Structures are given as structure tokens and as C-alpha cells.
Structure 1
């Protein structure tokens, strides 16, 4: 069996890593790794690939940035000759980035079946580009690999043939389980000037939160209040840093740091008192680790992290965020549960299905 595995953006790396590990263990199964270059920071990409022991991509499409239409079209244009030349038996796409839908559409139109890892997740907010990518990718994929029960229910309501749906667990948790013993060795907390359980981790990257001055101003007000009680470590994207610089802010206890590698970041998260984020994957990782998480969004496509985990959907109202932060400081970590099949073996189940 010859597979093409697609990685496009940084969140994809943690998802394709255990899939590549599992393929390497299977006799008779080979994989070509295609990096679309949607996230093209060479230093960060190289670091992630080294830390996660992902083989060097066979092909780098070097697409780079652009509008959604430009980026999606460019991936399709550059991926098509790869499929025609390599003739894979199937293409594996993960997550919900532009590369996911672009490579899925290209493969399907050339008659190559597609497996979608993390299928069925829904925020029910079609203003999110990721939601459109999820819906379209699920509609055209042959195998739908689901990470949590809500995905099964969502696909059922959409009329999906149940024979295409497989509940396999969460590949991001596969990576976390495999790498957990290496977190502390990657870099201690001293570099950030903080001590275990005495700081907050913050991430903000969604355009809806960062680009709207009114929304971002409200979030800054909440952050300003939280940092009076606990230091905040904020791995910040250069673009977000520029937007913050244009705001009149007083955040002496917020430590702005460069984007971190996977191991360094997960060490930071695992030792935090709580996390504030608008990321999807971090909601899952904190749930597994038992670290309280405040999600700075009005919706989530990962409801199991709220129902069973440590995640609280706090929205964008500054007063509500501040109140939730005060509660998170006192949170009982023993109450959380790990969702079903988040056991480090999702990739094994995925390759089992494909080889059958």
C-alpha cells in the first residue's frame, strides 16, 4: 500500500507524526510525506520535524502565504502533478487548514480515495474558514476518522454513510503520550522566569480575535486584569506583536516570547496554573493533561473537552473572562476525565482500517 500524507500548517505536524511512525512499523505500507508549505517558517518547521522525529518531506510544494482562494488554488495546482506522478493508493489529510481541503479535492478529482483524520468536528460557525474546510473535506472523503463522539453524531445528522465513519481516537494525544517524558528535558521554566503552577499560558492567533480592534481591546483588558495576580507567558506571533504594540497597553507581568517548539511549549502548558487560548488543539491537550483551560471563543468544535475535560468556553466578554480566571486559579484538577480512546493508539487504529 502506497500512501501520501499531507502536512500543511504547524498544527498538522503533531497529527501526522504518529501516523508516520505507525506506517514505518507496518510491513508492506509506504508513505510519501508532502509538505505544502502553507506554514513556511523554516526554523520552526525544522524544529517540529526534528522534535517529533518526522522524516524529511519527500516533496515540499512551497506554497507560502496568500488569501484563502490563492493559497487553496496554489496547493491544488502544485499537488496535482504529484498525484499523477506518484499514483498513491490513498491520500491522508488531517485537520481543517486550507491544505486539507485543497489536497482532498485534488485527489478525489483524480480518482484517488481520501482519508480525513479529525473528521466530524463542527463549531456550527460558518464564518470560520476552518468550518468550511471541515464540511467540504468530510463530504468528499472515503474514510472519516473521528476523534470524539460528537463527530459521529454530527456526521450522522448530515446523512453520512456510517460505513465511512470510524471512531479511532485522537492522534494529537498519540503525540503527547509518546513525547511526554521529553517535555522537561527540552527546556526548563527558568528561561521564562516562572515556577510550576504559578503562571498562566496565553495563546491568541485567530483573526476574528486579533484583527478586530474592539474584540482585541476587550481581550487585552481581561489579560491586564489576570496578569495582576499571576504572570502570563505569551508565545506571540510577530503579527500579533505588532497589533499589541499599536494598542495602549500596560502589561508588565506578561512575558512575550517567540513561538516555541512542541516540546518546550508542552512543558510550559503542562506546568501552568491554567491556560487561556483560542486554539483548538490546546483545548484537547489541556484536557488530557488535566490543566484548566479558558477558551476565548464563543464556540468550540471539540465539545468533549468541555463535557469531560478541563475546558471552559468563556467567550469574548472581558468581565466573564476575568471571573473565569479567578475560578480557574482554584480549580480542582482531580475532577477531569480523559475522553474515550484518547489512549495514544489512534494512529494504530487508522492504519488498521486502511490496511483492511
Structure 2
């Protein structure tokens, strides 16, 4: 009898990381796949599903304008409870640290169905930073049956919280599986004419240097975002040969804080958020990445890009240790100084532009399937990423 696996996800970052897992489940004759999307992100989520040819079995479509985190959580728990009663899966996979993840884990646990947590064990050490993600991670860990940690650091975090090593497998991060698929196989043409012209110039060996910027963190909204806008504006004025590519988040508060400072600068390309394939191409074109994103901290080191992270702490310290990521906060002058250092000093740039990838080798989906089979169907426990020789 097939093992019935339900995968629940709701945002683009989750979709990016579960897509190779769902593909692997569907390709395995011993497994049966059911997919559920909450729609916590709508358009961006659908883009990733389309890219991988995933058609969800259930779409909860929970989002409404102005709803609170508690409103999202309540809809996830109540809505998924009905789906769990109908589908009766053997295990449920959740990924990461969103409100979808926390709500889905609680609904699953209350139905006495085992929870499998992808990307388990990330910790910043600060319960309100990032908010609410750090709390969501810790809450989910308490009711998870199988923790799939991306790195040994994540595993250590879990064991310090008295989670048994027998419930943890280090798989690497499936974001690298998806990144490798996208950068190696997808032909990308940008819908934005300016960005497409920049891509063609880069291919021709011209086009100058590119700074890719993303900013969306809830805790940075307000003064932090205003400083980010002011810092980027000063960099654009100081380095007229630099092109700043800034896919700006749709959150009105983000736009209100950032756009006034940069909107009139000719070498700042303010564009709408990019589809995943386009974003990975923009990442590959960039010389420096300035971000407050978690996922970008994992992706950019795989492409040898220096990453300056506009946060005070990170739940992904591995690349900081490796030297390809630096935490710089959101203060205007610090942003200017750190980007300028990389633009002005070849030695500083080379020191960070090392293609060191502590997060994965493109085989996380393979290890994930092996771990689920081991835990719920019997067999040998798979070797941890970093210790196996596959």
C-alpha cells in the first residue's frame, strides 16, 4: 500500500522549496501525493506552481485584504482540518516558518497525523526577530515527528532543544535543487525592457556593475525601510556607472518608505516583483546582492555573489561563517559604506565572492524522500548531507 503524503504550502518561498519534493513524490511508485495550497501569497505562489507543472488538489485561497496574522492562522487551521478529514493522509509535509506552516502543523497534530518539517532547526535566537517566523519555527518543532534539517548547525539547534537525533535527518536545502534546475534549464527573457537590455549587455561583456536589492521584512518597515531607500539612492548617485535593480515588494508600506528616495534616479530600475525564474536570472547577473531576505542568503552564495544582509541577526549563519554573507543592519550610512567597500576594493570583493555553498548540493529532494520512507515505512536511515558520499 502506498504511503499517502500531503504537502501543504502557502507562499512563494515555500513553493520554491517544496516543488522538487512534490516532483520526487509524484515520480515514486511507492508514494501517493496530495498537494494543498493556502494561497497566503497568491500570484507569486501560482507562478512557481506553473513553472513546475504542479496543479494543487486543494486551494484554500485564504487571503483577504487587511487580515491579521491570527486571522490567517485561524483560516489555515479550520480549512485544513476539513481537508485532513477528507483525504486522511499518512503524513503531512510543511516547509519553513510562515503562518501557513504553523497553522498547518497544529491542524495536523490535532488530527494525530505525523508532521514532517522541511528546513527544520533554523534559529535566530530572538523570538521577535524575524517576526513571526522565529516563533513559528519553534512552535512547529514542538509537534514535528520528522525534522529535515538543511545543515548540521540546524540539527545542533534542534538537539539543544531536546529533540532526539533519531527524529532528525540533515538533507541540505531543497532551494538549491530548485536553483540548479532554474539556472541550468530555463530560458529567461525579462518582461521589463530595461532589464532585458541589461541582460543582453551583460552577455556582450558590457553593461557595467549591477547591485540587486530586495527588501520586505516586517520588522524593517518604517525607519528601516526609509534608511534602505536613502542608502540605495546615495549609492546610485555616488556610482553613476552602477545599475541598481530593485524589484520592489507590493506591500504599500514598503513602497511608501522606499520609492520617494529612488524613484527619479535614472540608474535605479524600480520594477515589479519578478517571477522566480526571472529572479534567479537577475541574481546570476548581479555583482552584489543587498537584501533582507532569508532565501536569498541561501541562493546567492551558490552563484558566488557577495550578500549584504540588512538585518541585525540571521537564522542562517552558515554563509556568514563561510564569509559570503555579512550582516549590516538597515542604517543608511552602514549600507553605503559596506556596498562602497565591495565596489571600491577588489580584495574585499574577492574575499566574499567565493562560490561556497553550505546549504546543499541539489540532492535534498532525494534525501527527503529517503528520510520519509525510513521514518514511516521502515528501512535504513539515510546518511546526513555533508557526511554521505553520493
TM-score by length of 2: 0.85
- Is the Cα–Cα contact under 8 Å of residues 287 and 309 in structure 1 kept in the other structure? no
CA contact 1:9–1:39 (8 Å) conserved in 2: yes
Q: Secondary structure of 2:367's partner? A: helix
Which residue of the partner structure matches residue 164 of structure 2?
A: 161
- Superposed, which structure 2 residues align to 1:184-263 within 5 Å? 184-187=187-190, 191-192=194-195, 193-194=197-198, 195-196=201-202, 198-210=209-221, 212=222, 214-228=223-237, 229=239, 230-238=242-250, 239=252, 240-245=254-259, 251-263=265-277
**Could you give the per-residue CA deviations for residues 188-217 of structure 1, whole angstroms, max 9, x where no partner exists?**
99642434361111111112212x2x2222
Runs of 4+ in 1 over 4 A off after TM superposition: 245-250
State how far apart, in whole Å, the 1-side matches of 2:229 and 2:54 are. 40
Query: Which piece of structure 1 moves more, 9-18 or 312-321?
Result: 312-321
Deviation (angstroms), 1:149:
1.9
In the aligned structure 2, how far is the partner of 1:232 from the partner of 1:162? Answer: 45
Question: Is the Cα–Cα contact under 8 Å of residues 290 and 309 in structure 1 kept in the other structure?
Answer: no
Q: 1:336 and 1:185 mapped to 2: Cα distance?
A: 23
How far apart in 1 are the matches of 2:132 and 2:353? 36
Return the alpha-carbon distance in structure 1 between the equivalents of residues 191 and 20 of structure 2: 25
1:72 corresponding residue in structure 2: 73
Instruction: Report the counterpart of residue 106 of structure 1 in structure 2.
Output: 107
Instruction: Report the RMSD for the aligned CA atoms in angstroms.
Output: 1.9
Confirm whether residue 180 of structure 1 aligns to residue 198 of structure 2. Answer: no
Of 303, 307, 312, which aligns to 1:289?
303
Provide the rounded CA distance (Å) in 2 between the counterparts of 1:227 and 1:191. Answer: 16
Q: Is residue 224–residue 250 contact of structure 1 (8 Å, CA) maintained in 2? A: no
2:143 pairs with 1:140: yes
The residue that corresponds to 1:47 in the other structure is: 47
- How far apart, in 1, do the equivalents of 2:355 and 2:178 lie? 20
3-state secondary structure, aligned to 1:187: coil
The question of whether the paired residues in 2 share the 8 Å contact of 1:176 and 1:285 is answered with: yes
Structure 1 residues 63 and 257, CA gap change in structure 2 (3 angstroms): same
> In 2 relative to 1, CA 189–148 (structure 1 residues): closer, same or farther, beyond 3 Å?
farther
Q: SS of the counterpart of 1:3? A: strand
| SS of residue matched to 2:314 | coil
- When structure 1 is superposed on structure 2, of 286-295 and 183-192 the one drifting more is 183-192
Q: For the residues of structure 1 that align with 2:45 and 2:173, how far apart are their CA atoms?
A: 22
Instruction: Return 142-151 or 178-187, whichever deviates more.
Output: 178-187
Map Cα deviations across residues 84-129 of structure 1 (whole Å, 9 max, x no partner): 1110000000010000010111001111000000000011121120
Unaligned residue ranges in structure 1 (runs of 5+)? none
In structure 1, C-alpha distance between the alignment counterparts of 2:361 and 2:121, rounded to whole Å? 19
Query: How far did 1:144 drift?
Result: 0.4
Corresponding position of 2:334: 320
Residue correspondences, number: 350
Greater displacement, 32-41 / 320-329: 320-329
Match of 1:25 in 2: 27
Alignment match, 1:92: 93
Distance 1:151 1:54 in 2: 31
Q: How far did 1:306 drift?
A: 1.0
Structure 1: distance between partners of 2:255 and 2:190? 23
Structure 2: segments with no counterpart, 5+ residues: 203-207, 375-390
